[in-house]
Structure 1
Amino acid sequence: MENLFEKILVADTNKDRRQVVCSSIKAIELAREKKFKEAFKELEKIFPKSKYSISKTIEYILALIEGYESYQNKNLINFIEVIQRLLDSPLTRVSRGNVKEFYESTFYNQMSACINIPDDMSKNKTIHKSKGDEFNNVLLVLESYKELDFILSPKLVDDEEHRIRYVAVSRAKERLFISVPSLDITDEPKFSEHFEIVRC
């Protein structure tokens, strides 16, 4: 998976706007994982202590976390509108060109999937906690073979579960294993071209 935080450096040459967008996304995801120290470190890039009180920073991050469902599945143009309402000074408007194309075609959840959550050294991780990480081998455990539809008919924009599973399989550098309780014999040809099917 491409790192969209690197791509945004090229797409948006407005440093201040880019900083607010990137630091806000990182702070939100860190706070949701209870990494509050790291979250507030990111927020200092938007609200330096010399200018803003800690209460302003807390108010900002709480509002974003409370409104998470309103923007998590939408594009970054929408996210900019959300954070714009919470800021004291306006961000430069995204009007045209490559930057507009990037913000319109890139979704919040695509950006958040690129974030590496620190200090989780466990050998087993949930899909959410694996964001930004890579592993030599990945095992994805599904409850039903019907959940394999994210491979056969992917809907990464409209279906949150498809996106989550895509994040999981994209973590594998060498080998990917997908475990399902059973697989319909009529569906085997759909997978056998790209996967080795092992029955236990």
Structure 2
Amino acid sequence: MPNRLRARDADYLAYALIDAIVDSYFPPIETAGELVDSIEDQMLRAADKHQMRRLHELRRDANVLKGVLWPMRDALATLIRNDVPHVKPETKIFLNDTLDHSLRLIELVETQRDMLTGLIEMHVSLSQARTSDVISYLTIVSVIFIPLTFLAGVWGMNFDPETSPWNMPELKAQYGYPAALVFMAVVALGLVAFFRWKKWL
């Protein structure tokens, strides 16, 4: 390669430098693509806030790369289309290959940016679904405990049954406390069974 460069003119040296710069973008872009795939796999297992922050960082990097690559593409297209002093027609053939590489890079970056946008939207949807599941679970637990709390509150009023036969005669029952616990358990289990039947649990 050094001998080849020495045998060429300055326009070929400029092409070689531009081509090396353009090709140097491929490894980091491919690495970013692998990272995007890895984050997607992690999200499908368990989404967390760190993934969202990383996705935003990657999308920002993709936007920066696009801002660098588009002017590079325009400059290469100008060199190829126009009559530029000291740029030979055979060198333009090589520059055209470099232009193809820059277009491929732009395509990769735009694809990754679209994927990142989709993953961010999916992360938001997964987080909302998880929040909805938690709220549903807490609501069901609350519904189960509301009647139990009501029963405990009624039996906790402690009206004296000796004052009136209507004042909680069950307080005098020999097995009143175990019976109350069993009744509360039956109510709770009945609600759980009902929720399962409705497929809410």
* TM-score bracket, shorter-length normalisation: under 0.3
What TM-score comes out, normalization by structure 1 length?
0.22
Q: Which has the larger radius of gyration?
A: 2
What TM-score comes out, normalization by structure 2 length?
0.22
Please identify which structure carries the higher strand content: 1
Larger RCO, structures 1/2 (Cα 8 Å, 6+ apart): 2
